Amino acid sequence: MQAARLYEYDPEMNVELKIEDVRPPTITAADEVIVKVGAAGLCRTDLHIIEGVWKDIMDTEGSLLPYVMGHENAGWVEDVGSNVTSVKPGDAVICHPFNACGICLECRYGHDMYCDHGKFPGLGLDGGFAEYFKTNERSVIKLNTGITPLSVAPMADAGITAYRAAKKAAKLLNPGGYVLLLGIGGLGHIALQVLKHTCGARVIAVDREPAAQVLAKELGADIILDGGPNLIDEVKELTGGGVHVAIDFVGEHGTENTCWKLLRQGGELIMVGYGGTVEVPTLELVANEIKIGGSLVGDFVELVELMEMNADGLVKMHQTEYSLANINQAISDFKARRFTGRGVIVP
C-alpha cells in the first residue's frame, strides 16, 4: 500500500514525508480492526511530531522511525479479528484516536484518555496517512446514514478535542456570560459551533487571520477580534471586566500568558493548545480566584455525542482536501496558515 512516512525529526521542519510502498497492516489480535482510510485529518500535533516535540514521549528508544503519522481517521472496515462483533467489512466508521483497553479502572470509569494500557495510532505506532491502518474494536464508531468518512475524519481528534473543551466551558456559563475562543482554526471553529448550540453565553472569537474572522462570523460568533496588542483592554471593556471562560487553542507564542489576563474574577482558562509555558503570579490565582486547567482530546462517548450533532447538521467541519501524494504541500500550507479550518489527506 501507499503510505507517507517520517524518516527524521527536525525542529526547523526542513524535512518531507516520503511516499512509498509498504506492507499493509494485518490482523494479529482478536479485537483488531483494519480500516481502509477514506480520509485523515492533518493536526498541529503532526507538526510537533516532525519537530521532535513528542520524541521523548513516543520514541524513547529512538527506534520508531520511519513510521506513518495520522491520528484523525475515518474510512471503511476492511478486516476484523475473530472476536469483533460490532462492525463488519464494508461498514463506514470514524475512529477514536486512542486505543483504550476497556478493562483498567480508568476505562471502567469511562475515562478512555487515562487508560493504563492505551495505544495511539499515529503517535508511537503507524497511523492513517496511508491506504490502510489498524485500530481496535473499542475505538470504532459506525457513521450515521448519509455521512461520509471524508466529511468527518478530523472530528476524530480536532472535533472531539474542541467538543470536550466546549462542553466543559458550557457547564460553567450562564446566559449573558462571555466565553472567548482564541484561535478559530481546525479546533476553534468546532468549539464555536458547539457552544452556540449548548449554552446561551456570548461567544468572542479571536484570530488574526481575516479568513478565520470571516468563518467565525458565518458560524455565529457574537464578537470578533483580531488579537492585536490591545486585546486585554478590548476584552475587559467589552465584557465589563473580563470573560467568564477562555479557551486557548494555540497555547504558545505568547497566547498562553495572554488568555489568563482576559478572565474576570472567578473565571476559568481551558488550555487546549500547547508548546508554551504558563506563568501566573500566585497572587493572581488567589486574589482573583481564577482557574487554569487543560483539556485532553475526549472520551469515546464524547465522540459519539459529537457525531450525533454532526448528523443533525449542528456541527460541520470546514476543511481543505489534499491527496496523499500532496501531503507535504498540505503540511507547508498548514504551517503558513494558507487554509482555514482543517487540512484533510485523502489516499
pLDDT, one tens digit per residue, over 272-288 is 999 899 999 999 999 99
* Fold annotation for 2-157+297-345: Quinone Oxidoreductase; Chain A, domain 1 (3.90.180)
The DSSP bridge pattern shows strands 132-136 and 32-42 to be antiparallel
- Domain 2-157+297-345 shares a fold with domain 160-294: no
| Mean pLDDT, range 238-249, rounded to an integer | 98
Q: How confident is the model at residue 2 (pLDDT cuts 50, 70, 90)?
A: very high
Strands of the sheet containing 263-271, edge to edge, are 223-225, 202-206, 178-182, 243-248, 263-271, 291-294
| Mean pLDDT, range 295-320, rounded to an integer | 96
The DSSP bridge pattern shows strands 67-68 and 2-6 to be antiparallel
327-335 helix and 44-51 helix, angle to the nearest 10 degrees: 100
Average pLDDT along the chain: 96
What is the number of H-type helices and E-type strands within the chain? 11, 16
Q: How confident is the model at residue 174 (pLDDT cuts 50, 70, 90)?
A: very high
Residue with C-alpha cell 485523502?
A: 346
| Mean pLDDT, range 317-335, rounded to an integer | 97
Domain boundaries, the chain: 2-157+297-345, 160-294
Contacts of 313 (CB under 8 A, 6+ apart): none
pLDDT at position 130, please? 98
pLDDT at position 125, please? 94
The DSSP bridge pattern shows strands 223-225 and 319-323 to be unpaired
Q: How confident is the model at residue 325 (pLDDT cuts 50, 70, 90)?
A: very high
| Mean pLDDT, range 90-111, rounded to an integer | 96
Q: How confident is the model at residue 104 (pLDDT cuts 50, 70, 90)?
A: very high
**CA of 43: how far to CAs of 10, 108, 184, in Å?**
17, 29, 14
Q: What is the DSSP string of 268-288?
A: EEEE-S-SS-----HHHHHHS
Give this prediction's pTM: 0.95
pLDDT at position 317, please? 97
The DSSP bridge pattern shows strands 342-346 and 132-136 to be unpaired
pLDDT in tens, 135-172: 999 999 999 999 999 999 999 999 999 999 999 999 99
**Residue 7 region by backbone torsions, left for phi larger than 0, else alpha for psi between -120 and 50, else beta:** alpha
DSSP category for residue 125: B
Spell out the CATH class of 160-294: alpha beta
CA count, 13 A, side-chain hemisphere, 188: 32
How many C-beta neighbours within 10 Å does residue 210 have?
A: 10
pLDDT in tens, 222-232: 999 999 999 99
Residue spans of alpha helices (H) in the chain: 44-51, 55-58, 105-109, 149-152, 158-172, 188-198, 210-218, 231-239, 282-287, 300-311, 327-335
pLDDT in tens, 62-83: 999 999 999 999 999 999 999 9
pLDDT in tens, 13-27: 999 999 999 999 999
Burial (Cβ within 10 Å: 0-12, 13-18, ≥19) of residue 47 = middle
Residues 35 and 23: their CA atoms lie apart, in Å, by: 14
